[in-house]
Amino acid sequence: MSAEAVKQDDAPAEGSRDWRALLREIAESSALVVVMAVVASMVIGGLLIIFADPDVSDAAGYFFARPMDTFTAAWDAVSSAYTAMFRGSVWNYSADTFAQQFKPLTETLTMATPLIFAGLGLGIGFRAGLFNIGAQGQIIMGAMLGGWVGFAWHLPVGLHLLVAVVASALGGAIWGFIPGILKAKTGAHEVIVTIMLNYVAANLLAFALSQDAFQRPDSDNLQSPIVDTTAQYPLILGSSYRLHLGFLLAIAAAIGVWWLMERSTWGFRFRAVGANPRAARTAGMNVSFGIIAVMTIAGALAGLAGSAQILGTEKSLTTGIAGSFGFDAITVALLGRSRPMGTVFAGILFGAFKASGPTLQVAAGLPVDIVLILQSLIVLFIAAPPLVRFLFRLPTPTNEKVVAA
């Protein structure tokens, strides 16, 4: 087929770069697609809010008598929702003190921490061609092991935190290693195995919490003792904010992952295995080892997400310790296109969504689940740039970039 011989001509002719070309380049850029995807999702979210709003439906009842009432009610519903989200996640302009105004932003970063950790791990997997759905279970295992070291061991300041963090990473790593080795040795599909391991981990956690070793002595609820202060991540902005050292660790991890994937021989191998395992193998790379290493590293990063929960935010193990971070992290990694920088920004965006939940509920009377809708719509739109371009009538780029899963 002669199509193979098609060459891409990506060097534009000299001198052709007038302002028109510049505009066109902006219009074609994937950054614009990302922005438009967010806009489109918020529009759809807005429509849902309007649809579900009782005031709007009341006003719609007499739409033909006073149509403006419907529009006003709709506008009120949407604007109160989105301003609540803004106040809950970025800047609470209606608060009294600066400290309180500033607090939402720190909450956003706190929520972003586990998302970034787990998203980084999943991103490595995606680039190595492994679809790891198992971050949830890996977070649980990380939180379990790290939490146990945190409350059952008593070590000196500094050392205790270090050991607890390593234990979290180890817990997650084990839960990543299992699907890794099964995939490498038996070909078991990692999607199925990781899904199953999520349930196994959740049941293990429930079992552990029902045992004396994990049960808080003075409590009737299923919860563990609080981890020692020596094992907690220090708060980096003082005791009035929940933001802890884990966030900085997540940023450091992002830089580390960037180096690993772009500048190290291991990353080269991971990427080769992901893009074409057969060619990688023919060139002498150990594909099995690559799969196991990637899954183990991804698990360790998800385990660190667990550490952010147990040693930073929650401090006590409950059945809900992992929240939905493991699944949200999938969308984070997809939105961040599996790149570390992208994952950090996507993590912060979705962290903001999560942080805005309580305010959304209190101030706008909306269930927090609207953020799940926004989250999934954004990822869907970004995965399909032609759809976004179609919706906003943007020009099709001459050189369509393939969207990496």
Contact between residue 121 and residue 185 where contact means Cβ atoms under 8 Å apart:
no
Question: What x-and-dash track marks residues 131-160 binding other proteins by CB under 8 A?
Answer: x-x---------------------------
Task: Report in angstroms how near the CB of residue 289 gets to other proteins at its nearest.
Answer: 10
Tokens representing 225?
A: 């003792």
Using CB under 8 A, which of the segments 20-28, 169-177, 212-220, 383-391 binds other proteins? 383-391
- Does residue 6 touch other proteins according to CB under 8 A? yes
Return the biggest CA–CA distance within the chain: 76
Task: Report in angstroms how near the CB of residue 126 gets to other proteins at its nearest.
Answer: 9
- Does residue 391 touch other proteins according to CB under 8 A? no
Contact between residue 379 and residue 404 where contact means Cβ atoms under 8 Å apart:
no
Using CB under 8 A, which of the segments 88-96, 236-244, 270-278, 298-306 binds other proteins? 270-278
Find the binding residues for other proteins in span 208-247 (CB under 8 A). 210
- Does residue 187 touch other proteins according to CB under 8 A? yes
CA distance readout (Å), 267 to 43, 257, 260, 277: 39, 9, 5, 14
# of chain residues touching other proteins (CB under 8 A): 77
For other proteins, which is the closer residue by CB, 87 or 271?
A: 271
- Does residue 257 touch other proteins according to CB under 8 A? no
Contact between residue 281 and residue 121 where contact means Cβ atoms under 8 Å apart:
no
Q: Which of 85, 112, 231, 272 binds other proteins (CB under 8 A)?
A: 272
Contact between residue 302 and residue 86 where contact means Cβ atoms under 8 Å apart:
no
DSSP 357-370: HHHHHHHS---TTH
Contact between residue 136 and residue 299 where contact means Cβ atoms under 8 Å apart:
no
For other proteins, which is the closer residue by CB, 167 or 273?
A: 273
By the 10 Å C-beta count (0-12 exposed, 13-18 middle, 19+ buried), 336 is classed as buried
For other proteins, which is the closer residue by CB, 103 or 183?
A: 183
- Does residue 124 touch other proteins according to CB under 8 A? no
Of the chain, the end-to-end C-alpha distance in Å amounts to 27
Question: What x-and-dash track marks residues 289-328 binding other proteins by CB under 8 A?
Answer: --------------------------------------x-
Torsions phi, psi for 316 (to 5 deg) = -145, 140
Using CB under 8 A, which of the segments 18-26, 94-102, 279-287, 310-318 binds other proteins? 279-287
DSSP 119-175: HHHHHHHHHTT----THHHHHHHHHHHHHHHHHH----TTHHHHHHHHHHHHHHHHH
Using CB under 8 A, which of the segments 14-22, 50-58, 243-251, 303-311 binds other proteins? 50-58
- Does residue 193 touch other proteins according to CB under 8 A? yes
Secondary structure, 3-state, 375-388? HHHHHHHHHCHHHH
Task: Report in angstroms how near the CB of residue 214 gets to other proteins at its nearest.
Answer: 13
Using CB under 8 A, which of the segments 17-25, 100-108, 205-213, 344-352 binds other proteins? 205-213
- Does residue 331 touch other proteins according to CB under 8 A? yes
